[in-house]
Structure 1
Amino acid sequence: MRSTYRAKIGGSRLELAMLLVAAISCVLVLTLNVSSERTQQGAETAGLNALLIMVLAAVAIFAAVATILSAYAGSRRSRNQRNNELQDLRRRLASSEALIRAEPQILVHWEQGRGLEIVAQSLSGIAGLPSSHQELLRFGMWLEQKSAADLKLALDALFAEGRAFNMILRTMAGGHLEADGRAAGSRAILRLRDVAGYKRDLGLILDHQKKIARDVRSSRALLNALPSPAWLRDGNGRLTWVNKAYVTAVEAASEAEVIAAQIELLESRQRRVIERKNKAGQVYEERLGLIAGGDQKAHKVVVIPLADASAGVAIDVAALEQAQTALDRQIAAYDRTLDRVTTAVAIFSADRRLTFHNEAYRTLWQLDEAWLKTGPQDGSILDRLREDGRVPDVANYREWKTRLLSCYADVKELEDLWHLKDGRVVHVAAERRPDGGVTYFYDDKTEALSLERRYVALSRVQGETLNNLKEGVAVFGTDGRLKLFNNAFAKIWRMSQRVLASTPHIDEFVGNAKVLFDDGHTWQKIVKAVTSFQVARSQLEGQMVRPDGSVIDYAATPLPDGGMLLTFADVTDAKAFERTLRERNEALVAADNLKNRFIGHVSYELRTPLTNIIGFSELLASPHMGDLSQKQREYLDHISQSSTSLLSIIDGILDLATIDAGTMELKLSMVSPRDVIDATILALRERAVSADLTIDVAVEDGAAPFEADEARVRQILYNLVANAIGFSRSGGLVKIECWRDEGDIVFAVEDNGIGIPPEQQARVFERFESRSQGSEHRGAGLGLSIVKSLVALHRGRVNLDSKPGIGTRVTVRLPVRPAGSQLLEQHEHERAPAYANNLDAS
């Protein structure tokens, strides 16, 4: 480099000399030329000057050419030298880059007036080291806070003062780097390298030392903040550190005084016990009475043995004992309260064992009290309930059980409805306790859900009922506002559902309703009934006749809750129908009276000639009138039977007419059931014999005489037995039964005839209702009608039970003694002496 530089200097000097010669020559030539012109000398001098000028010009030209050639040669030499220098620089740059790449590192260059620039990056494999240049230069993003702060301070000192540094950095991911900073003039270089060997170990040791120092400072700060005395001892049992609470407890001035004087909080006897237990490797934990701050209080002393040392703390538990006592009392009261509630409660500890249950829990699940007192596991109780069939029937019991027990780990409350096999529905709620346990609440919702279903159904029924009523219904509350209404109410007063749903006041409703009915007096009474504050409110009824001709019946009824129920019924059509029905009823009553008078008159008019026919037929049949042929006698028999039947029909019609007119009076007397049955059989014996029927009679001993009209009772039995004979098959059986049933005498007539179809049974007691039902019997249809009327006249009841093809049974119940009658008491009084005489005679 020096030889090249010297060659450059020598060539430059030669060129400058040549240029100087040429310049001097030019100056001389110009000077001579000027001088020759000024002096105007002779031709010789002019020739000599011209020659001199030519020589000087030649010298100048030669010097210029020499200078140019020398400059060209120098330039060529300089270019060759620069090429050589460039190649040398390239070789040196390649060597430098090879040296830089030989070691994994990151080089950061800084120059004054410019920012940081990464000139080399070959380091990798460090945990937490970013790969991009931008992220690398943001040291606070990937270095630990302490390392980033230390590096920033070191870089500031390097850039400002040129102070070099070397330190170990730690990334957020736990990797370690060596940072080396050097300054060169106005430039600075930061080199980051991986630590290896002892440096790595040193970095780990430093990190560990910092962590230990931080932990010690934190622990001592925490212990100093404790209100409980704490201390550390060495292997010889001497105090090496105490917290502020210890200093206060022993009433010392400072920690140094306590350590220097070895002021003890524990007695020597207590310390010896603690020392023996610690030497055995055991933790000492006892409740002792210590004097702290001049007062003796109960403290829980805990001393932990360490390697050649021990650590202890004395916790003031006086307040804790008081709180525990109060808590125990509160828990006992709480348990007593839970035992009285109807909701089943079970409390489980953090280890899932039963710690409390009330009586409702045991009753609900029917579990053994002795077994529950053993504190079984929650899962064991579920398994037993499953065995007894008292848990829901689920497809996957294990999954269901796991979900239920997950409440021990989940803070979220659990609620579920258990539908048990026995039909009960139990609401289960599980709440996690602060101590990690769980409290279960089991509420039998069976009755509540049933009531709710019934209430909802009833509400729907009531709603549908109200909306389907023809009467308008409205309920006004104690504030005078409309609370409830139905569709008919809106229709009657021609108001929209929207207006009524806005709960208008009674005054607002009346204002709208006056358009249809403007009677201030009526509305004033209704408003007063709704808004009255009287305790005893009365009902209100009335009728409105609106200008459009419609008639509205209204009523106001007070409700128990203080409200008022208003009903409005549109009776316009009903009033019209009522007038029509009254007119028709009056016409029917008149026609019925006319019919009864006509039937009675005709019956009496027919009875006289019919009696004559019967009398003359009997007279002709007597022997006094002479002998009759067989044919004549048959004719007379037919005439007699037909006349008798017709007379019976006429008598029946007269009886019904008398009953309808209300003029029939019963002739009450003591009636023997046996006597009236015998009389009935005697009257119908020939008909039964001719029909080849058997009559079976059964009268209980308790069927004593009863009070009735004997003739009418015979008529009742006669019609029933005659009807049974008429509808019985040949060879059949007719049963007549009588017994006493409490205050009634019961007669039953049963046949095994053809029976009565169900659709005709409701009409058999109607008048003139007669059907042969396929038999030869054909009557006027008055027998059962007379039976029903006579039984009703006795305040009795009649019942018919018939099955086609099986037979018919008619039961008549007559009261033993009609209301207000004393004949039965007189009869029993008269029978008493006779009964006594019979006993004496026997």
Structure 2
Amino acid sequence: MTDSPALMVIIGLLLAAWTAVAGWFMLRASARSKGTETIRRSARRLSRMIEESPAVPLLVRADGRIEAPERLAGWFGLDRMPEYLSELSGGGDGGLDDAQLETLTGHVRRTQKTAASFTMTLAPLGSRKALTLRGTLADPSVSPAGAALIWVFDFTESEGELSALREQAASAREDFGALVGLIEAAPMPMWFRGADMQLRLVNRAYVSAVGSDSPDTVVREQIELVESMDGVSASEVAQQAGERRKAIERVVTTTIDGERRSLRVTDLPLIGDGIAGYAVDIEEMEEQAREFRAFREAQRSMLDQLSIGVAQFDANRRMTFANQPFHRVFGLPPGIVGERTTFEQMLMAARENGRIPEVRDFPNWRQEVAGWFLTDETHEENWPLPDSTHLRILGQPLPDGGLVFIAEDRTEQLALSATRDTLLRTRTATFDNLFEALAVFAPDGHLELWNRSFAGAWGLEEEALDGHPQAEDLLEAIAKKLADPKEVAAINHVIRAATLDRRKQRGTVKLADGRTLDFASVPLPDGNGLITVLDITASRQAEEALRERNRALEEADAVTTRFLANMSYEFRTPLTSIGGFAELLTSGVAGELSPQAKDYAQAIAQSVSKLTEQVENVLDLSQSEAGLMPLTKQKIALLPFVTEIVRKREDAITAGGLTLDLRSDPDKSVSADPQQLRRAIAHLLDNAIRATPSGGKITVEIRQKKDVTRISISDTGKGMSHHDMARALEGIRPTADGRGIERRQGLGIPLARQLIEAHGGTLELQSRRGSGTMAVIVLP
């Protein structure tokens, strides 16, 4: 860099001074030539040091001329140094602006006049440098005319550092203010202790918590928020934190606003001296924790009451809970939860008890099941066990990495489901194969279920029912099939009665094709209504036929009644006449008869007597079967009554070589028609006499107990088989076509039975071949 003339002048002056001094020394002492050379080198070094120094001299003369090295022009943002101070303004491209130039000019003039030094800072326009100017009055040896010597220092780096420091200081002040405001506005109590562990600063929350009026009062009176615990005060705990250089956190209980609250208090050592502290109110958290523990205990107690097995595993796959059904389902020992058994160990124990499915590769299967912990989806599987047990397994991952394992024994449900399916199929098959037509209507009126006969019964197409139509649509189709379409209202009423009114209802309707349907409704327990439809066309036709037959029978019965009334007269009158004439002939009214004629007349009288008896039997039996038997009841003493009947057959008993035993108390009596009862007992006694061989015995016994009279007639004859007894009890009955009369052999026992039944009693026959026969008359 080329030196400026002013600088060269200054340097030259300095060198001249040094040269003069050196010449003087050389003149005075030539012996000091070596010293002179040393001074010369020093002068050159001094000149070089000035050129390379961080300060550049600027000499301003009294007339405004300036002298300075050329390198100062670059500091001012100029291409070259100007000659006058006023030319330092570069016009916007460099140099100084007007304000800076005016200030510098003022300082220079004051220094020139008063020799007062000055210092100022400049920021040239065309340069990024920050310059510091220090001006003094130049030494007369430098400029004798009162020039100002200004040393220019490059202050760029220092200025940047100072700016950064200013910004940091401003930011620190802002942060400190924000921090103080944050601490003051914090909802939790916060404080600061000095090196002596005394309170120096507290926030509003602290003041409110201790119930004081201002922070100054708290600091002055050293009001502690936390009470001493176990003889250790809050300041001692803070001192321990300072000695350990580690934060101490503890949960304490204190009184705030008259309530005991749980606080988490932290004493935190700061860099340097001092301990900061803050307290977080965790009363709600503690309350929630207590509620959570109570909820967990209640939940686990509830899970123990479930029939479904539930177990919970933590993030480490260790069992933390298992209810009693879970132990039963997998056959686990009681202490498995307390042992913190892992999920894999639980599966191994279940495998040993045969409570997992049979798998070919158990380790691989166990690894797949354990993979449920690593997913976020719920896993559901069905495990068929070797003992035919079916388990429904549900694995629900938890947010904390754990797993809820649920096992439900569905063996009974599957059995019930299979039974239900079988019942449904059975019901469907039963419905479809019933003779009646069935349909089930829901409460909302739509057809829910029907069998195959339902559509055919109404003459509808089966496709019309596939869409489960509403009752209104179905009735509209049925109305077209009725002989009278208005009768569809009756069907609608029956359906409503079953589904809405919940009561039974029935009705009958006739179709256009001549068929007659009988329909009825029954409310079902599930709220639906069952409608049954039966085709009664054939039964109606049969009913009409039966009515016609009944009318014919009634007419025939009337004919029979008239016939019996006529025959009772027509039979008895001729027989009475024949018997009377026979008696007249025997008595000789018509003249004396020969012995042979008398025998003939007596035979005629005997035949008439027997014929009269048989006619009376036939008429009585016919009247009894027709319900026309006349009875005239009166009180009868049984022993004399039966004795009289036996006495009339004494000759027959003696002639047959038989014995008869009559047993009865004398005071036994009964209310009956004497004539009809006599005939019934006589017929039974006659049968016993005929059936008993010679030397046999007949027993007649009369018993009366609790208003029931029993007259038994037993013999020691050959007896009868069941078939013979059935034939003996049969009498005269109408033929199968109802147009004639069918005759059975013998009339005694049937007539006796009819006579006894006319009295409201019964006739019982007890017989066995080879053991005789016993007839028992039971009268009320």
Normalized against structure 2, the TM-score is what?
Answer: 0.44
Structure showing the higher helix proportion among its residues: 1
Normalized against structure 1, the TM-score is what?
Answer: 0.41
